[in-house]
Amino acid sequence: MARAGAAIKNEIEDLREKLRHHEYRYYVADDPEISDAAYDRLMGKLKELEAAHPELITADSPTVRVGGAPREGFQTYQHARPMLSLDNAFSYDALREFDRRVRESSGREKIEYIAEHKFDGLSISLQYQGGALDRGVTRGDGRTGEDVTPNVKTIRSIPLRVDPAALKKAKLPPNFEVRGEIVMPKKAFAELNRQQELNGGKIFANPRNAAAGGVRVLDSSITASRRLEFFSYYLLVEGRSPFTKLSESLQALKEMRFRASADWKLCDGIEEVLKYCDSWEDKREKLLYEIDGVVVKVNSIPIQNELGYTAKAPRWAIAYKYPARQETTVVKDIQVNVGRTGTLTPVAFLEPVQVGGVTVSRSTLHNMDEIERLGVQIGDTVLVERAGEVIPHVLKVVKEAADRRPFRMPEKCPECGSTIHKAPDTVAYRCVNAACPAKRRESLLHFAGRHAMNIDGLGEKIVDQLIEQGLVRDVADLYSLKLDKLVALERFAEKSAQNLLDEIETSKKNSLARLIYALGISFVGERTGELLAGHFSSVEDLAAASQEQLEEVAEVGPKVAAAITEFFSEPANRQLIKKLHKAGVHPTMEKRQIKSDKFAAKSFVFTGGLANRSREDAAEIVKQHGGTVSGSVSKKTNYVVVGTDPGSKYDKAKSLGVPVLTEKEFEKLLNL
């Protein structure tokens, strides 16, 4: 059913406007107005409309942020004006010296400076044409950089277009350049390394490396996954500053909805700059991103022009660097810590040392690969660094001890004695016993989570008390909790205790998908839980599945399948399933509405993107008509339904001579 073109166009533009507004509220203003889910719904709707009307897709649509397919290589691009670096000052005296030079060369008595954070990231030039983001280029060697446009488009604090009204207000033309820094927030960095630790990826030494690695990749979906942010600090029109003061540029950038640090300060003379540096030295720990110093710039553009440049850096700016938070110390021992997910993490126990005012006596070594990469052994002298609130990190071995001892992973879990597993294609060693005391707290919290068994009221404080009082040792124990025992806990009135028991009781009715997710099997998220629940009739059925059977489930690859078989190979986990069953937690596959037996004994495989429905919905339709759906093509497959960008399954179908259907043909078969 075709709707009027103009109406659709308006609807699409309207959605884009809304999304732009909410992106600004969330990523720039840090003050969201709607929930993530509501944002996702708007985005989903726009994607749907654009998929149905590809002729209406524009390069500045919020949907382009999603991250496309990898490209072949980077194009290089010559900067209109070189991206220079800055001279450094390592002391307040050096800053005063800089001020003296500026005053002498400019013949002024006192200079107005802008002091702002020195963001520890990757500098980038963003070029806007007609108000829309046209190109993003890395600094490169300062003269020529790499064109990373698709990647920067995934960074949500970078506007894809600037509102013409804002440009008009700031008296700016539609073609301009914004320079600034791409950074990775500390939290995203810690989370990235945690993931890398689990999956055996490379461990990043600091957020700057992780940010740079996230921008200089050919696959923009990697950039999108790194949760990078952009801070602007420089505005150019035809290679020059459009204002007579830098502070005006910073103000204009703000009006144009760029994120500029809210913390820049106009300083009257160098002594105010020193105060600024001083005040941020400690406060910077609390910032959500890393700064490694303060950049000091002359505010007046005419004075900047008088002072000019050396070959390498402007004479009107300098970077004051905070003292490095690095120190050398001795590794006294290396022991393992069993984390909340059961991963064994080697930890270096250090001779206590002061690093930037904090005593450091431990440092994570992440995993075996990292230990090998560093070549560290017990007894060695190492260089440790503390970057913001990020956990201290061993940078390198500076001296090998004569009596050094290599570290070896234990074969048994130091907490519960279960056998340690190592999945073949990861570097992580894991204790997979779901009831291991090291994991108890997190397992319980995960199990009770909103997206898992959704036991409202079972928060951290209560879980801690339940564990301390010995009332629960595993998730199944929740189902035998008694009112009198709960009421005896701190801050527990009879009513709230009864509410919790009711919540626990209700949770027995949860779906199989939720229970599978709630078990906390590595790599089994909500979505995988749903896919598995659509394939197996009960947890027992899932537990009995072989690696091959698991891999038949859509989106389940060897790694996920191995994690599942590993989980159920642990006797303690099989015991737990029995205990849950006995307690009344044994959901089975949801009854589906059977509409016909048209596809009885027919098996389907879907590959590529479908236009009118998701692959899951298509699979559900097949099942409602008595058919089966598999993740891989074999001679037994009856039909392969092919959407856009099909994968290797399409080639396999052709080579095996399995009938191939388009989505339209699939609909016809069904009389949809």
Catalytic residues: 118
Q: Under the criterion CB under 6 A, does residue 119 sit at the interface with ligand IVH?
A: yes
Minimum Å gap between C-beta 189 and ligand IVH is 17
Minimum Å gap between C-beta 313 and ligand IVH is 7
Say which residues have a Cβ less than 8 Å from residue 482's Cβ, sequence separation at least 6: none
Q: Write the secondary structure of 55-71 as one string of H (helix), E (strand) and C (coil).
A: HHCCCCCHHHHHCCCCC
Residue 420 contacts residue 411 (beta carbons within 8 Å) = yes
Q: Under the criterion CB under 6 A, does residue 319 sit at the interface with ligand IVH?
A: yes
> Nearest Cα to 414, choosing from 357, 500, 346?
346
Give the CB-nearest residue to ligand IVH: 123
Q: Under the criterion CB under 6 A, does residue 314 sit at the interface with ligand IVH?
A: yes
Which whole-number Å values give the CA distances from 583 to 476, 520, 527, in the listed order? Answer: 7, 19, 26
Instruction: Please identify, among the stretches 71-79, 84-92, 202-210, 516-524, the one whose residues bind ligand IVH according to the rule CB under 6 A.
Output: 84-92
Nearer Cβ to ligand IVH, position 123 or 426? 123
Q: Under the criterion CB under 6 A, does residue 228 sit at the interface with ligand IVH?
A: no
Among the listed residues 16, 20, 65, 118, the single contact to ligand IVH using CB under 6 A: 118
Positions in 97-116 near ligand IVH (CB under 6 A):
116
Minimum Å gap between C-beta 30 and ligand IVH is 19
Residue 211 contacts residue 121 (beta carbons within 8 Å) = yes
Tell me how far the alpha carbon of residue 74 is from its chain's centroid: 24
Positions in 233-272 near ligand IVH (CB under 6 A):
233-234
Element containing residue 391 per DSSP (H, E): none
Residue 638 contacts residue 602 (beta carbons within 8 Å) = yes
Q: Under the criterion CB under 6 A, does residue 155 sit at the interface with ligand IVH?
A: no
Among the listed residues 43, 84, 512, 539, the single contact to ligand IVH using CB under 6 A: 84
Say which residues have a Cβ less than 8 Å from residue 271's Cβ, sequence separation at least 6: none
Nearer Cβ to ligand IVH, position 64 or 84? 84
Among the listed residues 19, 295, 563, 642, the single contact to ligand IVH using CB under 6 A: 295
Nearer Cβ to ligand IVH, position 123 or 196? 123
Instruction: Please identify, among the stretches 83-91, 169-177, 272-280, 620-628, the one whose residues bind ligand IVH according to the rule CB under 6 A.
Output: 83-91
Positions in 120-139 near ligand IVH (CB under 6 A):
123
Say which residues have a Cβ less than 8 Å from residue 91's Cβ, sequence separation at least 6: none
Q: Under the criterion CB under 6 A, does residue 50 sit at the interface with ligand IVH?
A: no
Say which residues have a Cβ less than 8 Å from residue 319's Cβ, sequence separation at least 6: 86, 87, 88, 89, 118, 293, 294, 295, 296
Nearer Cβ to ligand IVH, position 319 or 384? 319
> Nearest Cα to 185, choosing from 204, 205, 207, 155?
207
Nearer Cβ to ligand IVH, position 116 or 415? 116
CB-count burial class (<10 Å; 0-12, 13-18, 19+) for 528: buried
Nearer Cβ to ligand IVH, position 125 or 364? 125
Minimum Å gap between C-beta 284 and ligand IVH is 13
Element containing residue 39 per DSSP (H, E): helix 36-52
Count how many residues are written for the chain: 672
Which whole-number Å values give the CA distances from 443 to 139, 305, 436, 474, in the listed order? Answer: 45, 62, 9, 8
Distance CA 220, CA 397 (A): 34
> Nearest Cα to 303, choosing from 320, 319, 295, 315?
315
Minimum Å gap between C-beta 321 and ligand IVH is 9
Q: Under the criterion CB under 6 A, does residue 472 sit at the interface with ligand IVH?
A: no
Among the listed residues 181, 197, 385, 570, the single contact to ligand IVH using CB under 6 A: 181
- Residues in the site for ligand IVH, rule: CB under 6 A? 84-86, 116-119, 123, 181, 233-234, 295, 314, 317, 319
